[in-house]
Structure 1
C-alpha cells in the first residue's frame, strides 16, 4: 500500500523511535552493571593539585577510626562499612565490592597477619553497649566464623600476632541520660551530645560534648578491660577500675603490650597508660605538670615502642606539640604544632618519614608534616623539633563534627579520609606527592 509523503515520513519516524526504545530497554541492564563496576569519580584539588578520589558516598558509609587498621597485610584492600554490609576497596584502582551482606553492628579492623576483617553483631533489641558477638570474615572466600559472645562494651584492639583481641565494658550501666548521649547515630556515626547552659540556652556541640564527658567521668562507672582469644573465644580480665577506660590499642610489634587511656575531659585526667595483657606493669606514659594541660588522641608508632600524642600546655595555648615517648628507653621528642597545623588526629607514614594531620577549624586541610629536629638529642632531655607542612587536600567546606580520621595506605602513596565537603559524608583518598 502506498502512503502519502507526509504519512510515510511519520511512519518511518515512529518505526525508528520504536527501534531506539527497544535498543535502550535491551541495553539498560548491561549499562547498569557497567556503572556499578566503573572507576570512582576523581579530580584534581584546585588548591593543591593533588588527585582526589571519591571512594564511596553511599548514605551511611563508615570508614574506620584513625587508630584502627583498615588494610590487609598485603596492602591491596581496605575495608569499610555501609548499611548493606562490609565492603572492600582496591587500593590501586579504588573500585569497591561487597564482601559480606549483613547488618553489621560495628566494623573493627583488618587482621595484621591474615586477610580477615573483624566485626561485631548485636541483636536489634539490645541497647548499644549491651551484649554482642564478635566475628571474623575471610575477605577472599567470604566465609565467616564466630569468635565469642561478649558481655558488652566494645572490642578495640588486635595484637601483633593476631592471637588476641582486647576491649573494655561497663560492668554497671552509667546513668540513663549519660548513656543516651554517648550512643552514636547508626547512619551518620555522630554522637547525640546536647544540653543547656546556665543561661538556659542550648549548648554548642563542643560545649555539650565537654559537659557530657565531665558527667561521665564523675559517674565513676565500674569498668573492666579484657582480652579474648581469637582461637578459643576465652575472655580474661586485664584491668578493673572506676576510671573511664577507653582507646585500647595493642603495640603493632609486641603482642602482649597494650596502651589505653583514662577517658574524660583531658585537663582533668592523666590519660595515657600502658599495661601487659596479663594485667602486669601498669605504667603512666605522660604526667600533667601544668594546670589546664591536655594530652590525647594517642597512637602507636609502627616501631611498637613509641607512643605519639597531641599535647597542649595549657589547653588554651595557640601552639601545641606532637609529642612522642619511647616506652622502652624513655626518650622523648616534641614537634611544635602551629595553629594552622592543629589537627583532630595525627598519624605516621609507614616509612616513618612523615606525619599526617586531618586539620581543624583553624586550618582546614589534609596535610603531610615533615618532622625536623632542632637540636642534637641529649640523653635525659626532651628533643624539640618543628613540622614542615605539605598541604594535600582542601577541607575548607568541612564541618568538623565529622572527624576525617585519615589513614596512610601501606605503600604510603595515599591518605584515606572521611569528609562532608560535598554536603554529605563520603570516603575519599588523596594521592600524595611522589618526590618528598
Structure 2
C-alpha cells in the first residue's frame, strides 16, 4: 500500500513546470534573511533534493550525518564539513513507465537507525511487483538485503533496536485511490508534495473500508506478525525512538471524521487511543514522538481552524500539556529539541486549515508554561504558550511542498526543504541571529528567490491545503 502522507518513497519534489532551469552552482549558498536577521544556508546541490518527513529520524546515532533523498538516490550529508555523498544510487527508471510505475521504481529511504549508522530502505522489483527491505551503512557503504515482503505489502518504520519493521497491506485486489496520480496543475508531484486531489482521495479512501492488515516483520528472520485487521484506513506508522515494542499509528482520513492517534505494542496488545475528542469538529493529528520517547506530540485544534495548540501526552505520567499559539503562528508540522527548550514550525499558506493571512514563515517557538493559581487536577491539561520568532520568510515557497522542519542534533540550526528557487533543495537556518553580517549578505529571501524562480506561488495557494 503506497501512501502519500509520509511515504518517504519518491525522490522528486515540487517544481513549477514553467520555471527556468537554473544550475545549482549558480544559486546562492548562504544569506541573512532581511526580515528575520537569521542566516540561511542551502545545504544540498541536487535539484529535487528533499529532507525526510518531519517525524522520521534522519540522523546517525552519533549526530554527525544526515540522510536525504534526491532524484539519483539516497545521499548522506556531513553536518560538520557540509559535504555530501551518494550512498544508494537509484537504478535507471523503466522506459515509458507510467506515473505509478515511475513512482514505485527506485530505492526509497525508510529511516536512519537509532542503534547503528544504517539507512533502512526498500526497493521495488517490477518483475515480481514486490518490495524488499535493505540496510546501508552510512560510513562503509555496505548494503545488505534483509527481508523480502509479500505482494502488496510495504513497511514504513523500523524500531529502536532495529529488529522489526512495521507496515500494512490491503487484503484482496484493493484499489488505486490516486495517492500519486499526476495532476495537470503545472507542478510535478513527488516527495513531500501534497497531490492536488488529496481531499477527494481521502474521502473516497476512508469510505471504501478496504480490509487492511497492520503487521510487523522481523528483519533477521522474516517472520511476520499481524497486529490487527481493520477496515479503517491505517497510516502514519512510527515506532517509538526508545521502546522497541511500542508502535504509534493513526486512523487516517479527514481529521474531524476519525479518532486519529493510537499506539499498540508489537505483541498486538494495549491498542490505545491517545486523544479522545470532547467537541464536535475538534481535530488532532500530525503526531510525532518526543526525542526521548516519553511524550507523543500533535497538532490540536479546538475546534478545527479556530484555536491552535501543540499538545503533548506523557506516556509515563499521563500528564497532558498544551502550548497555545496564534493563527499566524500555526504550522503544518512542528518539531522540538530533546530537552524541550525550543520548538519549531514550518508555517503555512492561506489555503491551509488555519487560513493564516501571514503564516508563511519558518518559526522558532520559545515555550512557556503558565502559572497555575487555582483548581488543578492530575487529569487537567497543563497550559502553556509559544512565543514565536520568525526564522525565514517563506512567502516565495509553494506550500504544496511541505517544508518538514527539524532541528540539527546540536540545536544550532533548523533544517527544512523548500522550492523557493524552483526545484527543491534542503536548507538550514541558524537558530541564533547573525552577528554583524556584511551589508552585501543581507537579502530579502522572497526577492532573492524570485531572481532565480520568477514563478509566483500565490495562485496555487487555493489548492494547496492538506485536508484535516
TM-score by length of 1: 0.82
Q: Paired residue for 1:171?
A: 171
1:265 paired to 2:254? yes
Q: Paired residue for 2:330?
A: 342
- Alignment partners' CA distance in 1, 2:181 and 2:84: 29
What secondary structure sits across from 1:340 in the alignment?
helix
1:109 paired to 2:105? no
- Alignment partners' CA distance in 1, 2:182 and 2:220: 30
Q: Paired residue for 1:74?
A: 62
Pairwise CA RMSD: 2.5
| Segment of structure 1 superposing worse, 164-173 or 80-89 | 164-173
What secondary structure sits across from 2:87 in the alignment?
strand
What secondary structure sits across from 1:92 in the alignment?
coil
Shift in Å at residue 191 of structure 1?
Answer: 6.1
- Alignment partners' CA distance in 2, 1:265 and 1:184: 22
Q: Deviations over 1:8-35 (max 9, x none)?
A: xxxxxxxxxxxxxxxxxxxxxxxxxxx9
Q: Paired residue for 1:375?
A: 371
Q: Paired residue for 1:43?
A: 31
Shift in Å at residue 332 of structure 1?
Answer: 0.6
> Which protein is bigger by CA-based radius of gyration?
1
Q: Deviations over 1:331-351 (max 9, x none)?
A: 111111211111010111133
Greater relative contact order (Cα < 8 A, sep 6+): 2
Provide closer, same or farther for how the CA distance between residues 38 and 143 of structure 1 changes in structure 2, counting only shifts above 3 A.
farther
Q: Paired residue for 1:333?
A: 321
Q: Deviations over 1:348-397 (max 9, x none)?
A: 11332111100001211111111111133642211111100121111111
Q: Paired residue for 1:432?
A: 431
Shift in Å at residue 425 of structure 1?
Answer: 1.3
Shift in Å at residue 116 of structure 1?
Answer: 0.6
Q: Deviations over 1:30-77 (max 9, x none)?
A: xxxxx9999982221222222211122523323210111111011111
Provide closer, same or farther for how the CA distance between residues 192 and 395 of structure 1 changes in structure 2, counting only shifts above 3 A.
closer
Kept in 2: contact 1:60–1:187 (CA 8 A): no
1:392 paired to 2:409? no
Provide closer, same or farther for how the CA distance between residues 303 and 191 of structure 1 changes in structure 2, counting only shifts above 3 A.
closer
Q: Paired residue for 1:246?
A: 235
Q: Paired residue for 1:354?
A: 342
Kept in 1: contact 2:90–2:107 (CA 8 A): no
Q: Paired residue for 1:16?
A: none
- Alignment partners' CA distance in 2, 1:359 and 1:154: 31
- Alignment partners' CA distance in 2, 1:351 and 1:105: 34
Provide closer, same or farther for how the CA distance between residues 37 and 175 of structure 1 changes in structure 2, counting only shifts above 3 A.
closer
- Alignment partners' CA distance in 2, 1:316 and 1:58: 36
How many residues are matched? 382
Kept in 2: contact 1:413–1:431 (CA 8 A): yes
Q: Paired residue for 2:11?
A: none
- Alignment partners' CA distance in 2, 1:168 and 1:257: 16
Q: Paired residue for 1:196?
A: none
Shift in Å at residue 163 of structure 1?
Answer: 1.8
1:296 paired to 2:285? yes
Kept in 2: contact 1:85–1:100 (CA 8 A): yes
Kept in 2: contact 1:183–1:191 (CA 8 A): no
- Alignment partners' CA distance in 2, 1:335 and 1:238: 33
1:52 paired to 2:48? no
Provide closer, same or farther for how the CA distance between residues 393 and 154 of structure 1 changes in structure 2, counting only shifts above 3 A.
farther
